[in-house]
Structure 1
Amino acid sequence: MTRNWKYIALMAAAFPATAAVAQTGDAGRRAVDLERYEEAKSIYKGQLGNKNSADNAYFALGDIYLKTDNTDSAAYYFNQGIANNKRSYINHVGLGKLALEQGNRAKAEQAFGDALSGRGKRDPYVLAMVGDAYVNAPNATEADINKGIEYLKQALERDSNNALANVVLGDAYLQLKRGGEAMSSYDRAIQLDENYATAYMRRGQLYTSSRNYNEAEEAFKKAIEIDPNFAPAYSDLGELYYFAGQYDKALSTFQKFVDMAEDTPETSAKYASFLFLTKNYDKALQEAEEVLQEQPDNTVMNRLRAYSYMELGQPDKALEAIEGYMQKVDQSKLIAEDYEYYGRILNKNNQSEKAIENLEKALQMNNANVELYAELASAYAKNNQYDQAIEVYERKRTNVEPSNADYYYMGNIYMMAGEEKAAANDREAADQFFQQADSTYGKVTEANPTYAYGHLWRARAQASQDPETEEGLARPHYEEFIKIAGADSDKYKRDLIEANSYLGYYYYLKGERDNAMKYWQEVKVLDPANPQAEAALNEIGKSAKQK
């Protein structure tokens, strides 16, 4: 799906798309599809005493526990399945999935080898589940996904009517951004089972990823029409509305998911994540706290708690929350956004050096996050490391062309460096920085000659090179700013007062009384109680009488 960083950090990281755990027609699998995991566990545990269904039941139970991040219980059921049936090829698949989850690729390969020995290599379900394991492995590489595709194709060669394998194959193609082949696989699954709601949901996800929101909406609604209790379809439909910027509709639709899904901490956690995405930070924090009462080590909820405090403007509480989270979370589960938020929180708490360290880590993990460069540059500037701050913006250019905002912030950094040098009485170095600020702001006026603020920024940079206003370096750009902004005095009032005050003072120093009075009177029009204008006009009046 089309996912921004917040989606990845919260929704996708904690609640990946439901993968297949048992063969079609299975009541337990339907419960899993509905994300009713406790119900599914109950169904499968009831099958453990049945010799014909126990093997798949052990595998399904292990896979549910693996899906809900309970690896010890997952290992228990996979191993029990093998203990119960020495020829349990499918539970060796489970151990392989568990090894992939734990990052032990050699152990995974060995387990898959055991699964595909003997009759396992001819079992379409075993082949499909090995394919599924590779496709949905954490941090799956392109090679992993292609390996998964090969096993899925083998499964379909042995059972061409396997709708579930077609869906997983479509998922694999979708991850490889081969949308046409993904859609063909989902369509094939629907041909095999026209009431396969999951296949319609996957079609909706594919349409969402290509920003075809109308077709996506239709596909999700078709899944709901087939199964009005199909909670995940409401979840995806809500996310679709989120991506489309329809936040109210997104939240009301997602509420339907919550109403239909199992009442578990997992459902509450997903709802809290969605509240955060739709900027309901106070409610997100409340839901997260409730989940953490039952699951104090819930990775995503600890993450969301810290993020929410930051968004609510409580950096002290955010710092306590993020540091607790960073210390106890499995380091392999830290994502770029964790370092980004930690850096932002540290910056707000005036810990610039540690902020820089974490923001740099975030960029190393995701250098395409263009919003992060400004935050990092700000941290460097706050720490008086102006050269490094500018270098950050140069790095950003490799990903995106600078915007007006980038030039503004770069110019501001030069201004800060110049002011520091001026305070140290190093006039030559100060003027060099002020000149660099002016040329940087000049990029804005060159591209947008009628952009009022560009001229205001240039005027300030030039005024800083002429602190006694002897040369009137800032005059042309203050005049241009007044020319552009004067028609909207309400919007630009404060800055128009600044521009007119500068020009009034400049002409007073030059002895041009009429021009000086004109600009100071304009200040009075903008701000009748302005004391500076009052004093200036009185002084000009006195000098006129003396003449």
Structure 2
Amino acid sequence: MKELIKRAWSGGIMLLFFIAAATLAVAQELPAVKQARQQMEIEQTNKAVATLSEAVKANPADATLLYYLGMAQIANGEKEKAEISFQKGLEVNPKEALNLAGKGYLRMIENNVAEAKTLLDQALAQTKSKNAPVLKAVAQAYLQNDKFTADALTLLQKAKSIEKSDYETFILLGDAYTKQVKGGEAVSAFETAATLDPKSGTPQYKIGVVYQRSKNLSSAEEHFNKAIVADPNYALAYKELGELYYAQKKAPEAVKAYEKYLSLTERPEPAQLRYAFFLFMAKDYKKANTVFEGLTKRADVSATVYKYYAYSLTEAVELAKAEQVFGQYFAKAAPTEIQASDYVYLARLLQKQAKDSLALVNFKKSLELEMNPEIAQTIADAYYKQKKYPDAIEAFKQLRTAKSNKLSSQDLFALGRSYYFNKQFIEADTTFAELAVLQPNITIPYAWRARSLANLDPELKQGLAKPYFEKVIEIAEANPDKSKSKPDLIDAYSYMGYYYDTKGDFAAAKKTFEKLKELDPANEKAKAYLEALKQAAAAKQKAKTAN
């Protein structure tokens, strides 16, 4: 809310000082002041200063022109020159209280409130609070400090009673009501101003700001466009339309509006970064990169410029340059500026360049800043894929935390295998037991539990793996299609065959190995065991015959 109000002030409030020229007694002064006001409306403050400087040269005895020149100089960032202009105006005509108000305005924006109040009170006393231009000038100064908004309103109501149809008075009334967050009164005042000067874009622009503040974006857009209809060169309306479209993610419209604004304003540099953002959102990365590159050459280049330049280069697939600019960003940015997403962007960029190890480093940095399940998953999957099982185990533990202890079946399978190949067979068994809870009707969890336990009982003395290989056989044999469970069933038959053999149940062993050979005719274990049984039987028969 405060930002929108601030825009309403920074975007053109200074130009309103020139409208009071209609009240001046000397007719030849009006064109210069009006022209300066129009130049201010399109953010051409250098030209406004030049226009009024020429008017002062032509009319050196007119102290009011020095006031308007001083106000233009303030808008142009030339406060010291403005001070000189106001002082010169007082020297030319000590009774022209406008220049006292100008000095008071300067003190107010410098936050020297006590001195400002003294000067403004002096201006009012000198004119007995009956001079409308001075009343408005003092009110404008008061509006620079929220503590004096009510005082400004009192003065503006008095000015209104003196000049009932003064455009500037209604604009300032609208500004005061806007600061008090009285949208209805503000819009009403601006509408009156619009009827008094239909060719000025200021009233409709300011109505648009009021609606924008209340999040009535359609009405805000309508009035910004009305400002442009009134004055096709009204720069601030194009600027605010660009911001409005940007907020609505209407990238092409935002770019178009901002390009028009940049073509009109005398100082496009401060808006170049916003323009680059709009181009980035519009996916016009080539043009965005040109703007970003220009911004990086400025002495006051910020870390934000490098950040989004790197993003844009990445999207434009200028990967090597993007990596370089990311380096500049991380070198310049304060630690508090860096976001987890920045490391993710760089990591994705590095992945595209097959720099997987560096990518993982940056994914992990991202996770240190923000626990993100997606990034934790990426890290765990990457370590597992690379067969870096100790790292994978730690990454899956972190993923478990990120997912509130709810690993998926795929995650449990990968974690169990990581434990298995890292020879942590107890942990592997526990993990595959979790998997069995999620997937009780497939062979995989039971087969891997059995394999894990078999490693803890290599001599088959305890038969730790037996119940789980039996479960594998039960599930697999109940399914006519054994293609998916074939590897698990092969291991199960092989284990059970040897288990029966160690227990002296050779008939069960033979039957099991026969099933194994039927399932896998080329299986060397089955062939060797059955051949051994055959030879043992033949030898036994031969010995029996010999006796």
Q: Given the two structures, how large is their TM-score scaled by the length of structure 1?
A: 0.63
SS of the aligned residue for 1:68 comes to helix
Q: Which residue of 2 aligns with 1:467?
A: 385
CA contact 1:377–1:390 (8 Å) conserved in 2:
yes
* Counterpart code for 2:419: K
Q: Which has the larger radius of gyration?
A: 2
CA RMSD of aligned residues (A): 4.3
Distance between the aligned counterparts of 1:331 and 1:475, measured in 2? 58
Match of 2:415 among 488, 495, 506: 506
SS of the aligned residue for 2:391 comes to coil
Equivalences for residues 143-154 of structure 1 within 5 A: 144-154=78-88
Distance between the aligned counterparts of 2:37 and 2:185, measured in 1? 24
CA contact 2:251–2:281 (8 Å) conserved in 1:
yes
CA contact 2:228–2:234 (8 Å) conserved in 1:
yes
Shift of 1:355: 0.7
CA contact 1:272–1:288 (8 Å) conserved in 2:
yes
Is 1:310 the counterpart of 2:246 in the alignment? Answer: yes
Distance between the aligned counterparts of 1:478 and 1:179, measured in 2? 61
Match of 2:434 among 509, 513, 518: 518
Q: Given the two structures, how large is their TM-score scaled by the length of structure 2?
A: 0.63
Match of 1:340 among 255, 273, 278: 273
Distance between the aligned counterparts of 1:300 and 1:411, measured in 2? 36
Q: What residue ranges of structure 1 are gaps of 5+ in the alignment?
A: 22-28, 33-39, 45-52, 72-97, 121-125, 209-214, 242-248, 423-428, 445-450, 487-495, 522-532
Equivalences for residues 183-332 of structure 1 within 5 A: 183-192=117-126, 193-194=128-129, 197-198=135-136, 201-208=139-146, 215-223=147-155, 226=158, 230-240=169-179, 249=181, 251-263=183-195, 264=198, 265-266=200-201, 267-276=203-212, 278-323=214-259, 329-330=263-264, 332=266
Between the two proteins, the alignment pairs up a number of residues equal to 425
Match of 2:32 among 43, 46, 62: 62
Q: Which residue of 2 aligns with 1:140?
A: 76
Distance between the aligned counterparts of 1:519 and 1:221, measured in 2? 73
Distance between the aligned counterparts of 2:256 and 2:433, measured in 1? 56
Q: Which residue of 2 aligns with 1:48?
A: none
CA contact 2:343–2:363 (8 Å) conserved in 1:
yes
Match of 2:445 among 540, 543, 547: 540
Match of 1:419 among 351, 365, 368: 351
Equivalences for residues 82-161 of structure 1 within 5 A: 100-101=46-47, 112-113=56-57, 115-116=59-60, 120=61, 126-127=62-63, 129-137=65-73, 140-141=76-77, 144-156=78-90
Distance between the aligned counterparts of 2:328 and 2:309, measured in 1? 7
Q: Name the % identity.
A: 9
* Counterpart code for 2:73: A
Shift of 1:431: 0.2
Shift of 1:6: 9.3
Q: Which residue of 2 aligns with 1:35?
A: none
Q: Which residue of 2 aligns with 1:91?
A: none
Residues 59-97 of structure 1 deviation map (CA, whole Å, 9 limit, x = unaligned): 1343134313499xxxxxxxxxxxxxxxxxxxxxxxxxx
CA contact 1:411–1:437 (8 Å) conserved in 2:
yes
Assess, with a 3 A threshold, how the Cα gap between structure 1 residues 194 and 108 changes in structure 2: closer, same or farther: closer
Distance between the aligned counterparts of 2:327 and 2:107, measured in 1? 39
* Counterpart code for 1:170: G
Residues 485-508 of structure 1 deviation map (CA, whole Å, 9 limit, x = unaligned): 73xxxxxxxxx7568853553124
* Counterpart code for 1:101: K
SS of the aligned residue for 2:323 comes to helix
